[in-house]
Structure 1
Amino acid sequence: MQFNKPLKHGVLRKRYKRFLADIDFGDGHITTVHCPNTGAMTGCAEPGYEVYCSDSENPKRKYRYTWELSLTQDKDWIVVNTQRANALAGEALRNGFIEPLKNIREWVAEQKYGEQNSRIDWLGKSDDSPLCFVEVKSVTLNEGGHGFFPDAVSVRAHKHVQELMQMRQQDHRAVLLFMVMHRGINDVAPAQHIDPKYAQLCIEAADAGVEFYAVKTHISDAAIKLDRQIHFQLR
């Protein structure tokens, strides 16, 4: 996935109100930009980090710029815009990047499903085969090279695992796909130390037949690309 135009480079001053961040682009004043990430962003939003923003070039938009990337003091790239994880997951699925899913014929994004009329990130369809429901998670919490999800207690994430188990009960395939959007992460696990209920739900889901995969990405200010499938440690 290429960035269509060069990203604007700056320095993070602060992130606040979840959706806003103040950036110093070196032009003599502080610019408020849109932060497309509702999570805790632990380790991703430290004041002084280099940041890269896309430009909507829309003068009518309240916040012209969107925060896309952070660069840590250790020079690890992080994708802040969580929408990029879904797009990269789509590339991985459609290109057969994940071996156990490569024979699925068609992938469709954002389809309604389940009793609560939720939306699944990707729905896989094949002739004479069960449907395949894929929920995508962006992993940016890095602790010594190990990635964890979630980075805060998440009732919404609990609900997603429970809905995937319901799909398995209906004899469909169900997948949790963790897209690693932090260059310093080398493996992924549920964050037992942060959200023990989520970790337990993942174990129950795996026992019910839900599949778990993790994909590492290569990140730069020019593009985000698929790198390789990495280990997901469930227990």
Structure 2
Amino acid sequence: MLYDNTVEAVFLERPNRFIAKVLLNGKTETVHVKNTGRCRELLLPHSKVVLTKSDNPERKTQYDLIAVEKAGLGLVNIDSQAPNQVMKEWLAVKFDMVKPEYRYGNSRIDFYLEKGSQKYLVEVKGCTLEEDCIGYFPDAPTLRGVKHIYELIEAQKHGYMCALDFVIQMPKVTEVRPNGRIHPEFETAFRAAVKAGVKIWFIGCCVTENAVIPDTNRIKVEF
């Protein structure tokens, strides 16, 4: 996944989950944050951040905040739309059919796939929370995430091969664990999915100011 029109800035504060104040070219600028999660361990005052400039002059905010530098780790992409785009590009060369936003049960699962005669359902989660080079998800309670896991469990019973895929939007990290401290119900659902045969995929990514690209050395996928 590639970005256009990126620029560096310095993070100042986040008045609410949708916007942030940054220092850009010596002036304070209000920007849109492309992640409604907490990101408390990332968006620290004086941190280096990466912005993309919109080509829509009618927007109230002309910039989107997409990445932040974390001390001791490197650049972390926090764009909540990036994981699905990264996966769409990666899956396109691995499967015969890739269909996003597939209706199953009472949910829209991120991807329906076909490889030969086998049908797959894959739900994608982006991971930006790291402790001691281990990723954790979620960083805020996600009822939608729990619901989708149970849909995968049900689909697995009906002949689909199902996977919960974590796109790791940062360097070094190779695995993601359920964050029961933040959302115990998600951890319960995660454990139930593993027991039911749902695969857990990890797609580690190389992150630059202009791109989020799967790192072949940090991909753990079992079809």
Aligned partner (choices 152, 174, 187) of residue 199 of structure 1: 187
Say yes or no: does 1:107 pair with 2:98.
yes
Say yes or no: does 1:223 pair with 2:211.
yes
For structure 2, the residue ranges without an aligned partner over 5 or more in a row are: none
Report the equivalent of 1:13. 12
Q: Do 1:187 and 1:230's aligned partners in 2 also have CA atoms closer than 8 Å?
A: no
Report the equivalent of 1:208. 196
Say yes or no: does 1:35 pair with 2:30.
no
Equivalent-residue separation in structure 2 for 1:219 and 1:150 (angstroms): 20
Q: Do 1:49 and 1:72's aligned partners in 2 also have CA atoms closer than 8 Å?
A: yes
Identical columns (%): 28
Equivalent-residue separation in structure 2 for 1:206 and 1:140 (angstroms): 22
Residues paired across the two proteins, number: 220
- State the secondary structure of the residue aligned to 1:46: coil
Equivalent-residue separation in structure 1 for 2:166 and 2:74 (angstroms): 18
Q: Do 2:174 and 2:202's aligned partners in 1 also have CA atoms closer than 8 Å?
A: no
- State the secondary structure of the residue aligned to 1:16: coil
Residue 85 of structure 1 and its aligned partner are, at CA, apart by 0.9
**Residues 129-208 of structure 1: matches in 2 within 5 Å?**
129=118, 131-208=119-196
- State the secondary structure of the residue aligned to 2:185: helix
Equivalent-residue separation in structure 2 for 1:20 and 1:143 (angstroms): 25
Report the equivalent of 1:4. 4
Residue 219 of structure 1 and its aligned partner are, at CA, apart by 0.7
One-letter amino acid matched to 1:64: Q
Aligned partner (choices 80, 83, 107) of residue 81 of structure 2: 83
Residue 223 of structure 1 and its aligned partner are, at CA, apart by 1.8
Residue 36 of structure 1 and its aligned partner are, at CA, apart by 1.4
Equivalent-residue separation in structure 1 for 2:120 and 2:69 (angstroms): 35
Report the equivalent of 1:93. 91
One-letter amino acid matched to 1:47: P
One-letter amino acid matched to 1:192: G
Report the equivalent of 2:47. 49
Greater displacement, 71-80 / 56-65: 71-80
Q: How high is the TM-score relative to the length of structure 2?
A: 0.91
Residue 231 of structure 1 and its aligned partner are, at CA, apart by 6.0
Equivalent-residue separation in structure 1 for 2:198 and 2:16 (angstroms): 35
- State the secondary structure of the residue aligned to 2:34: coil
Report the equivalent of 1:124. 113
Residue 139 of structure 1 and its aligned partner are, at CA, apart by 0.6
Equivalent-residue separation in structure 2 for 1:95 and 1:48 (angstroms): 40
Residue by residue over 1:42-98, the C-alpha shift from the partner in whole angstroms, topping out at 9 and shown as x without a partner, is 3221121111111112211111111111112335111111101111111222233xx
Q: How high is the TM-score relative to the length of structure 1?
A: 0.87
Report the equivalent of 1:22. 21
One-letter amino acid matched to 1:15: R
Q: CA RMSD in A?
A: 1.8
One-letter amino acid matched to 1:4: D
Q: Do 1:42 and 1:141's aligned partners in 2 also have CA atoms closer than 8 Å?
A: no
